[in-house]
Amino acid sequence: MAFSPELIELFNLRHVQLRKASALRSTLSIARYINHIQLGYLGLLPFLALVGWSMLSGRTEYAGTMFIYYGIAIMSFLAGQLWRPGEQSYGRAIAVVIPTIPLPLLALGNELFTLAWLSASFWLVLAIEVKQPQWAEHHKDYRKMRFVLTSVVFVCHLLMIAAMLDRP
């Protein structure tokens, strides 16, 4: 059974149109996350710069304090992003608030404990976010970015802890 050239051409044209439409949907899907992704990676710069400063200079007094305050600000922001009034169950509200309750006190406490708390809290907030129904709706690049950012921030916290333990 042979198909007419017109039918083959129509099929090929329709196939090209479907591929273009699929590519456009994919582009539009990621487009709404581009700013989040760019801002997320830009948010790493202070963590990396402060760790680099403390390791290159061998002095952690100022870099460590600024690192902690920046970490507290970012943790508050991330936990706040999970807060969805009207969609909140009591258990979820508690889970979102737990990492942020001691933040004001952590700023005044032991630096090593504060860094350890913050490093664990970044993973806790990501775990809470992953368990939300909205997580599956996020683009795969956004989900990947959240994991990469949390991993890099965690390593930065470990490096800052190591730098503080190494200081005289």
pLDDT tens by residue, 10-42: 666 665 565 655 554 555 455 666 777 788 889
99: number of Cβ within 10 Å? 22
Q: CA-based angle 159:160:164, to the nearest 5?
A: 120
For the chain, the structural domain boundaries read 1-32, 43-166
Running DSSP on this structure, what letter comes out for residue 44? H
pTM for the full predicted model: 0.73
Angstrom distance (rounded) from CA 142 to CA 67? 25
Instruction: For 120-152, write each residue's pLDDT tens digit.
Output: 999 999 998 898 888 888 888 888 999 999 999
